[in-house]
Structure 1
Amino acid sequence: MKRCLFVDDSSVIRKVAKRILGGSDIAVIEAANGLEAAEICATDMPDVIVVDGGLPDMPAVDLIRRIRAMDGAVKPQILVSLVEVDVASIMRAKRAGAQGYLLKPFNRAQLLDSFRSLKIAA
């Protein structure tokens, strides 16, 4: 079973993601901020990480760089979630190590399509 870490300060966004992905072969782990996410990744790296572009405690690109710098067998695929298409933010996230982006609010089809584009069965 694949593991996905959803990092967002909105409990509603995390619950929606968990509900959508819960019916597939993906276990969802939640983190409300970047520090909590970094601690989870240091302990047990997930396969996929979705990082909110507007975290309360650190810029998303800093978290992405921190995750990419961690040693380990699992090299997660990372998406940054944004409230609007912001080309500069997307490019900064990609340079930091993200594979793509996800617009929020998202629906079931959009979230599952994002995971399919990463070659993650959903």
Structure 2
Amino acid sequence: MKTCLVVDDSKVIRKVARHILETLNFRVEEAGDGQEALNRCTVAAPDVVLLDWNMPVMSGMEFLRALGNSAVSPRPKVVFCTTENGIGHIRAAIDAGADEYVMKPFDRETLQSKLSLVGVA
């Protein structure tokens, strides 16, 4: 069973994402910010990280950079999941190491499509 780490400071978003991911047969873990996510990845790397952009403690972009500089192996696929929809934001996320990008709010079909694109669904 594939694992997904849902990283978002919103408990509601984490709950919605968990429900969708579990219907797609993922084992789901949660983190409320980038630092917590990095700590979890260091202990056991998930197959994919569903990552929010704006969070306290460590933002999604800061997490991506830290993950890239870490010894986490194998490196999980990262799908940015955010309300930031400008082409500049999307380019910055991809340049920082994100594998794919999904807009909030998202539904099961959209998320499944993005997970397929990165090779984990």
Identify whether the pair has TM-score above 0.5, normalized to the shorter chain.
yes
**What is the aligned partner in structure 2 of residue 55 from structure 1?**
55
Q: Please tell me whether the aligned partners of residues 7 and 51 of structure 2 are also in contact (alpha carbons under 8 angstroms).
A: yes
How big is the alpha-carbon RMSD for the aligned residues of Structure 1 and Structure 2? 1.3
Give 5+ residue unaligned stretches, structure 1. none
Report what 1:78 is aligned to: 78
CA distances 1:63-121 after superposition (whole Å, capped 9, x unpaired): 00111222243111111112141211111111111112110111111111111111212
1:13 aligns with 2:6: no
In the TM superposition, what is the alpha-carbon distance from 1:25 to its structure 2 partner?
2.5
Task: State the TM-score, normalizing by the size of structure 1.
Answer: 0.91
The 5-angstrom pairing of residues 1-122 of structure 1 reads 1-121=1-121
Count of residues paired in the alignment: 121
Aligned sequence identity (%):
36
Output the CA distance in 2 between the equivalents of 1:106 and 1:42. Answer: 28
Q: Which moved more, 1:27-36 or 1:84-93?
A: 84-93
CA contact (8 A) 2:7 2:32 kept: yes
User: How far 1:58 moved relative to its partner?
Assistant: 2.5
AA matched with 2:98:
A
Look up the SS of the partner of 2:9 in the other structure.
coil
Q: In structure 1, give the amino acid aligned to 2:57.
A: D
Q: CA deviation at 1:3?
A: 0.8
Mapped to 1, the partners of 2:31 and 2:8 lie a distance apart of 6
Query: Helix, strand or coil for the counterpart of 1:6?
Result: strand
Runs of 4+ in structure 1 over 2 Å off = none
8 A contact 2:33–2:59 mirrored in 1: no
